[in-house]
A and B are shown apart, each in its own frame.
Chain A
Amino acid sequence: MTPLAVTQKTEAVDPVCGMTIGTKNAAATSEREGKTYYFCSKGCQEKFEREGAVGEKKTAHTKDSGSCCGGGATAVVVPLTAAQPSKHAHTEMAAKEKAHAYHEMRAASSPHVPAAATDAERAQEESYRTMMRKFWFAASVGVPLTLLMFAEFIPAWREALMPYHRAVSIVSALLTLPVLAWSGSQFFQGAWNGFRNHNTNMDTLVALGTGSAWAYSTVVAFAPGLFPAGTAGMYFEVATIVIALILFGQALEMRAKRRSSAAIRKLLELQAKTARVIRGGRELDIPIEEVVVGDTVLVRPGEKIPVDGIILTGESAIDESVVTGESVPVDKKPGDPVVGSSVNKTGAFTFRATKVGRDTALARIVEMVERAQNSRPPIGRLVDKISSYFVPAVMIIAILTFLAWFNFGPEPVLNYSIVTMVAVLVIACPCALGLATPISLMVGVGKAAENRVLIRNGEALETASRLQTIVLDKTGTITKGRPELTDVLPVGEFREEELLGLAAAADRRSEHPLAEAIVRGARARGVSFGEPDEFDSIPGHGVKAVVGGRQVFVGNRKLMAREKVSTAEFEVVAARLADEGKTPMFVAVDGQPAGVVGVADTIKEDSVASIRTLQRIGLEVVMITGDNERTAQAIARQVGITHVLADVLPEQKASEVLRLQKKGGQLVGFVGDGINDAPALAQADIGFAIGGGADVAIEAADVTLVGGSLRGVVTAIEVSRATLRNIKQNLFGAFIYNVLGIPVAAGVLFPVLGMLLSPIIAGAAMAASSITVVTNANRLRSFEPKPVGEVKWK
């Protein structure tokens, strides 16, 4: 549970090879121009001393410089220009503190640069094409051989071919060999490599199956005399077609898998590609990867903000929906933070880059999602156990099948024994089992991220899907977390507008949140008000002011008592407001009661609908708050919660969660603010942190709701349940497939139905099974969070 920020500060990027290393563990360091550089090895440092950082060349790729570490820091080629800022920037930067140095360098090693994605994709595309070529070759040999085999069933053809039987067999054997050697090379190589490691895999089964079919057939082709009459069958078409089918299946699977990782690509597409920076008084358009901390970046209306930073000059409205989920643009002025990938709507401004590359909010979201996609939920663990025994078990079953047919099967025994053994080897599909969990998890976590829900890992996803109770913090979670004006209730001859205008003018200079709420409320209602002539704030009471020559008091009951204003006329409305969970503020004008204004922390727009949905999908919803029972109950009534824990001090929230967990061994989720509620978030089985802005990747939480709305809790639970269901379907499918397929291939149906599975069908089934798993997982991609209030399932 180390916060990200802390771990980052202990890492640096080797400027030569680009590897990320811990600063404490660097093999060597160098000082240059006031900066400390860290190296993974002595070799890198020597190269640095000799030639300087790679970034000092124009654009360097890690592969050019990887002599010391063999390759890049990650599997990708990363432009390293940012490792060393350009001359202009460098002069500016020299004055900056050391700490910044490796932050800039870290930007260089970001795995999330577009170049990286395309490189990996190109490699994938290439292996896809090779695979398809191998497939076509195998198919072009396999199909004629299959036709030839069918010819054997037509008496006239069989007789016509009879004289050439020997020649045809030998030609088939020779034609099949290159199919095995080239198209099937990966299976044989994989099997052999595995074998030397005492390891088995998918390839082992395919290689054994096709290899034994070919070897047997070849011996038959060249020396038919060795076999008893009638057993000299040949299975060249089996070997070739099985190889063709499995290659085709793997190629399709590769395509489908690419689709399942689409979520990350979508997130990355949100990024701007270039940034306009001002260096040395000149405007430069540079790729986003080259922006360094401290750069002054210029953004025009309609453009995307490239990195995180703080506004220097200019004002604008910015659409930050990418990190906050809030679609209404936010007004920003100098000194305000801006978040990379948000959209500048109205004005032009400049800002100072504070976080670039891997440190930006978006990059951290991407990193978090990737980590989650690669974790493994507990449900997958049993499968891991099974799959490690799977292949040898299938080999043993294949031998037993052979022996059973050999000893007890009908004539010609050898043919039946060979066919069934090959079918068993070829039908078994450990891939489907191995893929079932990770592929669904990848799609599910990605889908959640698209909906602004960041799930930490597979375990969190699985637990979230089984939550029974969910505890909602009141302030900031159910409510907006800041007071707002709700009621204006004049007494006597005062009109509503007049009362509010006087109260707002009196409160104008006050910094108290309640006073600010009144001022904001008056503005929102279009009530005009002036400046107070005199103003005095009385802590714990309220304000005294002179507005337009009239003496105005705005405050609590204590203020009224102090100023000897009768509160008799206020009592009824004040009591009603308090019942509704609102804070009554009394207003007196010229010593006479004028009215009451109600201020309250209001409920977020979709809280009611989200809570109802949570209840409908079977969760017990509990509200927890430090407020008194009366206020708490008032809010709870409005949102439809019956179970309320009031008067809970912040530090007691965790123990309340624990109490709920102990009661009936329930799985309890806690939804709250990531900072103040950290202990409760950690105590809960699943902590949902309501975040937003730049703090999106909240480390204490299992789930981070970027939108800040309770709707995210519904989405998180829905996605988790849908993903878990998908995983179960996949596991069930893959398991049933193997459990049914292997015995059928072994011929258990033969005594009853006289049915045998052709190894060709077995190969097709195998290819289909892993495609099915991937396709089923991709079904999750169509998951859309239902509008709250309409969730039907469960």
Chain B
Amino acid sequence: MSGAEIIVNLAGLSAIVWIVWYFWLWKGESVAAQTTVGGVQEVSVVVKGGYQPSSIVVKAHRPVRLNFTRREATPCGEEVVLPGFGKRAHLPQGKTVPIEVTPEKPGEYEFTCGMNMYRGKLIVE
């Protein structure tokens, strides 16, 4: 094996290690919802290649308002689905679309894009 070949192989293997670390092992930070005057737990979620933030911590039995704003042209994120609540909304680019749910049971509720490629979760405590 020549020096160039060794370098290519090492580069490939380190790329694999990096992919595992960057995409699989990365844990995003979770954000706690802010409670408004009226008792609604409110969070703004930016849709851009995923959900920012992607983990949202809320309290059970209280209404939650997720304000989704899609800031990208790709149609991937144009729909957001909350399967646990049977809600789906179309997200026009640049517009904020509020979705309201009231989680009754503690647990984790996912929200995803229409094709399930973007994923976020609502952690209900």
Give the chain B neighbours of A409 by CB distance below 8 A. Answer: none
Residues 75 to 95 of chain B near chain A (Cβ within 8 Å): 75-76, 81-83, 86-92, 95
Residues 1 to 50 of chain B near chain A (Cβ within 8 Å): 5, 8-9, 12-13, 15-16, 19-20, 22-24, 26, 28, 36-40, 48-50
Question: CB-nearest residue of chain B relative to A195?
Answer: B49
Q: CA–CA, A391 to B90, complex, Å? A: 25
Give the chain A neighbours of B88 by CB distance below 8 A. Answer: 370, 373-374
Contact B19 A198 (CB under 8 A): no
Contact B19 A396 (CB under 8 A): yes
Question: CB-nearest residue of chain A relative to B80?
Answer: A75
Contact B74 A198 (CB under 8 A): no
Of listed B15, B52, B73, B115, residue having the most chain A CB within 10 A: B115
- A435 and B19 in contact, given A75-B90, A193-B72, A407-B5 (Cβ under 8 angstroms): no
Q: CA–CA, A391 to B117, complex, Å? A: 9
Give the chain B neighbours of A391 by CB distance below 8 A. Answer: 23
Residues 183 to 239 of chain A near chain B (Cβ within 8 Å): 185-187, 189-203
Q: CA–CA, A196 to B12, complex, Å? A: 21
- A198 and B63 in contact, given A19-B98, A20-B100, A28-B38 (Cβ under 8 angstroms): no
Task: Give chain B nearest CB distance to A18 CB in angstroms.
Answer: 10
Q: Is A641 an interface residue (CB 8 A)?
A: no
Give the chain A neighbours of B110 by CB distance below 8 A. Answer: 384
Give the chain A neighbours of B112 by CB distance below 8 A. Answer: 384
Task: Give chain B nearest CB distance to A704 CB in angstroms.
Answer: 15
- A22 and B63 in contact, given A190-B74, A197-B49, A387-B117 (Cβ under 8 angstroms): yes
Q: Which of B37, B49, B67 has a CB less than 8 Å from the CB of A196? A: B49
Q: Which of B16, B23, B38, B48 has a CB less than 8 Å from the CB of A27? A: B38
Q: Is A361 an interface residue (CB 8 A)?
A: no
Q: Which of B16, B19, B97, B117 has a CB less than 8 Å from the CB of A75? A: B97
Q: Which of A75, A191, A434 has a CB less than 8 Å from the CB of B95? A: A75
Q: Which of B8, B15, B51, B74 has a CB less than 8 Å from the CB of A203? A: B74
Contact B5 A406 (CB under 8 A): yes
Q: CA–CA, A26 to B63, complex, Å? A: 11
Contact A457 B89 (CB under 8 A): no
Q: Which of A26, A200, A201, A399 has a CB less than 8 Å from the CB of B16? A: A399
Q: CA–CA, A73 to B118, complex, Å? A: 23
Q: Is A430 an interface residue (CB 8 A)?
A: yes
Contact B16 A400 (CB under 8 A): yes
Q: CA–CA, A548 to B53, complex, Å? A: 86
Per-residue interface assignment for chain A, residues 413 to 435, with 1 indicating a CB less than 8 Å from any chain B CB and 0 otherwise: 00000000000000000110011
Give the chain A neighbours of B26 by CB distance below 8 A. Answer: 198
Contact B74 A403 (CB under 8 A): no
- A186 and B73 in contact, given A25-B63, A372-B86 (Cβ under 8 angstroms): yes
Residues 247 to 275 of chain A near chain B (Cβ within 8 Å): 250, 254
Q: CA–CA, A394 to B88, complex, Å? A: 29
Q: CA–CA, A70 to B40, complex, Å? A: 17
Task: Give chain A nearest CB distance to B3 CB in angstroms.
Answer: 14
Question: CB-nearest residue of chain A relative to B51?
Answer: A197
Of listed B50, B97, B116, residue having the most chain A CB within 10 A: B116
Contact A70 B69 (CB under 8 A): yes
Q: Is A127 an interface residue (CB 8 A)?
A: yes
Question: CB-nearest residue of chain A relative to B91?
Answer: A75
Question: CB-nearest residue of chain B relative to A185?
Answer: B73
Contact B73 A198 (CB under 8 A): no
Task: Give chain B nearest CB distance to A391 CB in angstroms.
Answer: 8
Give the chain B neighbours of A435 by CB distance below 8 A. Answer: 115
Q: Is A74 an interface residue (CB 8 A)?
A: yes
Q: CA–CA, A74 to B67, complex, Å? A: 11
Contact A402 B114 (CB under 8 A): no
Contact B83 A74 (CB under 8 A): no
Q: CA–CA, A193 to B98, complex, Å? A: 22
Of listed A201, A373, A434, residue having the most chain B CB within 10 A: A201
Task: Give chain B nearest CB distance to A378 CB in angstroms.
Answer: 11
Contact A193 B49 (CB under 8 A): yes
Task: Give chain B nearest CB distance to A59 CB in angstroms.
Answer: 20
Q: Is A142 an interface residue (CB 8 A)?
A: no
Give the chain A neighbours of B19 by CB distance below 8 A. Answer: 392, 395-396, 399
Contact B40 A202 (CB under 8 A): no
Q: Is A626 an interface residue (CB 8 A)?
A: no
Q: CA–CA, A203 to B75, complex, Å? A: 11
Q: Is A24 an interface residue (CB 8 A)?
A: yes
Q: Is A750 an interface residue (CB 8 A)?
A: no
Q: CA–CA, A187 to B72, complex, Å? A: 11
Chain B residues within 8 Å of chain A by Cβ, number: 58
Task: Give chain A nearest CB distance to B79 CB in angstroms.
Answer: 9
Q: Which of A69, A200, A383 has a CB less than 8 Å from the CB of B96? A: A69
Q: Is A146 an interface residue (CB 8 A)?
A: no
Task: Give chain B nearest CB distance to A120 CB in angstroms.
Answer: 6
Task: Give chain A nearest CB distance to B83 CB in angstroms.
Answer: 4
Contact A407 B72 (CB under 8 A): no
Question: CB-nearest residue of chain B relative to A76?
Answer: B90
Task: Give chain A nearest CB distance to B22 CB in angstroms.
Answer: 6
Q: CA–CA, A400 to B48, complex, Å? A: 30
Task: Give chain A nearest CB distance to B109 CB in angstroms.
Answer: 11
Give the chain A neighbours of B51 by CB distance below 8 A. Answer: 197
Q: CA–CA, A636 to B105, complex, Å? A: 43
Q: Which of B16, B97, B116 has a CB less than 8 Å from the CB of A74? A: B97
Give the chain B neighbours of A25 by CB distance below 8 A. Answer: 38-40, 62-63
Contact B76 A201 (CB under 8 A): yes
Give the chain A neighbours of B73 by CB distance below 8 A. Answer: 185-186, 189
Give the chain A neighbours of B54 by CB distance below 8 A. Answer: 197
Task: Give chain B nearest CB distance to A608 CB in angstroms.
Answer: 36
Per-residue interface assignment for chain A, residues 162 to 183, with 1 indicating a CB less than 8 Å from any chain B CB and 0 otherwise: 0000000000000000000000
Give the chain A neighbours of B13 by CB distance below 8 A. Answer: 403
Give the chain A neighbours of B91 by CB distance below 8 A. Answer: 75
Give the chain B neighbours of A21 by CB distance below 8 A. Answer: 38, 40, 63, 100
Give the chain B neighbours of A373 by CB distance below 8 A. Answer: 88
Q: CA–CA, A185 to B50, complex, Å? A: 17
Q: CA–CA, A203 to B48, complex, Å? A: 13
- A186 and B100 in contact, given A25-B40, A374-B88 (Cβ under 8 angstroms): no
Q: CA–CA, A76 to B86, complex, Å? A: 18
Contact B22 A406 (CB under 8 A): no
Q: CA–CA, A186 to B51, complex, Å? A: 17
Q: Which of B39, B62, B98, B119 has a CB less than 8 Å from the CB of A73? A: B98
Task: Give chain B nearest CB distance to A339 CB in angstroms.
Answer: 24
Q: Which of A189, A199, A395, A434 has a CB less than 8 Å from the CB of B72? A: A189
Q: CA–CA, A25 to B114, complex, Å? A: 30
Give the chain A neighbours of B87 by CB distance below 8 A. Answer: 371, 374
Contact A406 B89 (CB under 8 A): no
Contact A198 B28 (CB under 8 A): yes
Give the chain B neighbours of A399 by CB distance below 8 A. Answer: 12, 15-16, 19
Contact A190 B119 (CB under 8 A): no
Q: Which of A41, A73, A406, A438 has a CB less than 8 Å from the CB of B114? A: A438
Q: CA–CA, A202 to B49, complex, Å? A: 11
Task: Give chain A nearest CB distance to B93 CB in angstroms.
Answer: 9
Give the chain B neighbours of A197 by CB distance below 8 A. Answer: 28, 48-52, 54
Q: CA–CA, A74 to B100, complex, Å? A: 10
Question: CB-nearest residue of chain B relative to A23?
Answer: B38
Give the chain A neighbours of B52 by CB distance below 8 A. Answer: 197
Contact A396 B5 (CB under 8 A): no
Jot down 25 A-B pairs with beta carbons below 8 A, ordered by A: A21-B40, A27-B37, A69-B67, A71-B92, A75-B90, A186-B74, A187-B74, A192-B49, A193-B49, A194-B50, A194-B118, A196-B49, A197-B54, A373-B88, A374-B83, A375-B86, A376-B83, A384-B110, A388-B119, A392-B24, A399-B15, A403-B13, A406-B8, A435-B115, A458-B83
Other A-B contacts than A28-B37, A399-B15, 13 sampled, CB-CB below 8 A, are A74-B89, A190-B49, A190-B76, A193-B49, A194-B49, A199-B50, A200-B23, A373-B88, A375-B86, A399-B12, A400-B12, A435-B115, A438-B81
| In the A-B complex, the 9 residue pairs with the closest CB atoms | A193-B49, A70-B96, A197-B50, A371-B86, A27-B38, A199-B50, A190-B74, A194-B49, A75-B90
